[in-house]
Amino acid sequence: MKIWLPLDSAAVALGADDIAAAITQEAAARGLDVTLIRNGSRGMVWLEPLVEIELDGVRHGFGPMESGDVAGLFGDLAAHPKAIGPVDAHPWMAGQTRLTFARVGVIDPFSLEEYRAHGGLKGLERALGMTDAQIVAEVKDSGLRGRGGAGFPTGIKWETVRTAPGPKKYIVCNADEGDSATFADRMLMEGDPFTLIEGMAIAGLATGASKGYVYIRSEYPIAISVMERAVRIARSAGVLGLSMLGTGKSFDMEIRVGAGAYVCGEETSLLNSLEGKRGVVRAKPPLPALQGFMGRPTVVNNVISLASVPVILEKGAAHYRDFGLGRSRGTIPLQIAGNVKYGGLYEVAFGLTLGQIVDQIGGGSASGRPVKAVQVGGPLGAYFPRALFDTPFGYEEFAGKEGLIGHAGLTLFDDRADMLKLARFAMEFCAIESCGKCTPCRIGAVRGVETMDRIAAGDPGAIPLLTDLCNTMKAGSLCALGGFTPYPVMSALTHFPDDFATAREAAE
């Protein structure tokens, strides 16, 4: 009997390890031979811990499991109270286009054999037979843009590093994933670590870098240990090392653990942290692509950007590019969280409207109350009201509404949310997390909190002051922490004027 149960952090937080122990115990008591595979999560977080059992070649799901439900797994499965039927046919799974997350939750994260059997290493094998310029051209042609937040074209960044002079170059994977409501990087690393390893190896071939680092936030202990083990397996199997897959081309990588600051997700701050320095933002230029880690040409890419490369090389640029909308090509792993009924990860082509994501996929709020606002793109993203729910999910489309998609995290709030308090929180977050390098952010965020308090107290002059301050932060900050904090603040003020009514009324 084969049973799958995620090792994923969300599943573990919801009791997966206890379910694993209960399954082992129950099987032993019944004298049954059970193979328990700890897989990644399928992304249906409201069903975690989700157990899967194969019946006639089809994997059936049971969740959310509690210890008391385990005995029933060894009885009449059709009558199990937590049965959800075949997992792949579940509407949440069936509606997705899984390119980057195709193997997550499906395979054993530590089995290179299963990885290969599901298309793994085909992209690397193809890349090993191409020139560096050809690989870069393929990635450019796919239309892939950075999934870390800024949406910069990945192929163009790689081209800059490829053509930069230098005896040594690096690939740095940004796995700091500090945005609220985001967990795609973690899920990918925990559920399919070889995809990231393969993507980094291809990036190395494309740019002439022979060494890579994955900078993972310290709050992700499971992802760290899965990645470390997977790198060891890949190295001993000859996927990584001096001669990748016996070709004589070399690439190796190491895992590094972050120091716990939001700003260390900003690429130059991350590079400083990786070099053992304080996580403070560097002025640009020079670009990291020209002078990055240890002053060498460096690709800094998000986990999902790099993990999307193997399928692009395997199936070709056109296959990837054919999904999407406008200049947002391919798929995006939406992460839906907050006050939501069906929270989790949903990979789909760009272009769904925000309303479809919130109401159809997310199922509305968990509280059953009307959804008032959705913050898209983490703590620096704008709050969208229902009036803007027709906005299609795409980089330009969100920018056109004074918002951003960032790392594609969405946080839902119901009608009890106080937008004035949330706007204040954005300023407070910026004040706490500021690296201190530039004045508009370091001082501006502190003044911003004070100004919000004046608004809350009904000071009529404080609203124009806040607008003025936001414009200064937007225009004058060195990086997007100070530069984008105005998005949540101004969107709250613009779209939810009633929540700022006390001060407005006093002003009139």
Ligand X SMILES: Cc1cc2nc3c(=O)[nH]c(=O)nc-3n(C[C@H](O)[C@H](O)[C@H](O)COP(=O)(O)O)c2cc1C
Residue 302 found at the interface with ligand X (CB under 6 A): yes
What span, in angstroms and rounded, lies between the C-alpha atoms of 177 and 302? Answer: 9
| Contacts to ligand X from residues 181-200, by CB under 6 A | none
Query: What residues contact 449, with CB distance under 8 A and at least 6 apart?
Result: 424, 427, 428, 431
Among 149, 344, 378, 482, binds ligand SF4 (CB under 6 A): 482
- Nearest residue (CB) to ligand X, 264 versus 361: 264
Residue 256 found at the interface with ligand X (CB under 6 A): no
Among 9, 301, 339, 411, binds ligand X (CB under 6 A): 301
Mapped onto helix, strand or coil, the DSSP state of residue 182 is coil
Segment contacting ligand SF4 (CB under 6 A): 142-150, 213-221, 338-346, 474-482?
A: 474-482
Residue 95 found at the interface with ligand SF4 (CB under 6 A): no
Among 226, 253, 410, 479, binds ligand SF4 (CB under 6 A): 479
Q: What are phi and psi of 293, to 5 degrees?
A: -65, 125
Among 38, 60, 126, 147, binds ligand X (CB under 6 A): 147
Segment contacting ligand X (CB under 6 A): 175-183, 272-280, 308-316, 361-369?
A: 175-183
- Nearest residue (CB) to ligand SF4, 155 versus 482: 482
- β-strand partners of 59: 54
Segment contacting ligand X (CB under 6 A): 18-26, 43-51, 105-113, 479-487?
A: 479-487
- Nearest residue (CB) to ligand SF4, 400 versus 436: 436
| Other beta carbons less than 10 A from residue 229's beta carbon | 14
Instruction: Give 232's Cβ-side CA count (13 Å radius).
Output: 7
Mapped onto helix, strand or coil, the DSSP state of residue 82 is coil
- DSSP letter for each residue of 345-413: EEEEETT-BHHIIIIIIS-S-TTSSPEEEEEESGGGSPEEEGGGTT-BSSHHHHHTTT---TT-EEEEE
Binding partner of 442, given ligand X, ligand SF4, none, CB within 5-8 angstroms per partner class:
ligand SF4
Segment contacting ligand SF4 (CB under 6 A): 105-113, 314-322, 406-414, 472-480?
A: 472-480
Binding partner of 152, given ligand SF4, ligand X, none, CB within 5-8 angstroms per partner class:
ligand X
Residue 48 found at the interface with ligand X (CB under 6 A): no
Q: Provide the token pair at 379.
A: 């703590």
Binding partner of 147, given ligand SF4, ligand X, none, CB within 5-8 angstroms per partner class:
ligand X
What span, in angstroms and rounded, lies between the C-alpha atoms of 203 and 154? Answer: 10
Residue 247 found at the interface with ligand X (CB under 6 A): no
- Nearest residue (CB) to ligand SF4, 351 versus 476: 476
| Contacts to ligand X from residues 362-421, by CB under 6 A | none
Among 136, 481, 489, 492, binds ligand X (CB under 6 A): 481
What span, in angstroms and rounded, lies between the C-alpha atoms of 97 and 485? Answer: 32
Sign of CA dihedral 422, 179, 155, 270: positive
Among 59, 118, 168, 442, binds ligand SF4 (CB under 6 A): 442
Three-state secondary structure of 292-349: CHHHCCEEEEEHHHHHCHHHHHHHCHHHHHCCEECCEECEEEEEEEECCCCCEEEEEE
Residue 267 found at the interface with ligand X (CB under 6 A): yes
Q: Provide the token pair at 317.
A: 């640029």
Q: Are strands 211-216 and 170-175 parallel, antiparallel or unpaired?
A: parallel
Residue 298 found at the interface with ligand X (CB under 6 A): no
Among 45, 477, 492, 499, binds ligand SF4 (CB under 6 A): 477
Q: Binding mask 101-140 vs ligand X (x if CB under 6 A, - otherwise)?
A: ----------------------------------------
Residue 263 found at the interface with ligand SF4 (CB under 6 A): yes
Among 151, 487, 480, which residue's Cα sits nearest to residue 326?
Answer: 151
Among 159, 198, 266, 347, binds ligand X (CB under 6 A): 266
CA-to-CA separations, 420 to 3, 310, 402, 431, 463, in angstroms, rounded: 48, 44, 18, 17, 11
Among 2, 152, 236, 457, binds ligand X (CB under 6 A): 152
Cβ–Cβ < 8 Å for 332, 347: yes
CA-to-CA separations, 430 to 147, 216, 295, 484, in angstroms, rounded: 22, 22, 28, 10
Number of residues forming the site for ligand SF4 (CB under 6 A): 14
Residue 438 found at the interface with ligand SF4 (CB under 6 A): yes
- Nearest residue (CB) to ligand X, 39 versus 273: 273
Phi-psi region of 411 (alpha: psi -120 to 50; beta: other; left: phi over 0): beta
Q: Binding mask 273-292 vs ligand SF4 (x if CB under 6 A, - otherwise)?
A: --------x-----------
61 burial type by CB count under 10 A (0-12 exposed, 13-18 middle, 19+ buried)? buried
Residue 441 found at the interface with ligand SF4 (CB under 6 A): yes
Cβ–Cβ < 8 Å for 353, 410: no
Number of residues forming the site for ligand X (CB under 6 A): 22
Residues in contact with ligand X by the rule CB under 6 A: 146-150, 152, 174, 176-178, 262-263, 265-267, 300-302, 305, 479-481
Per CB under 6 A, residues contacting ligand SF4 are 263, 281, 434-438, 441-442, 477-479, 481-482
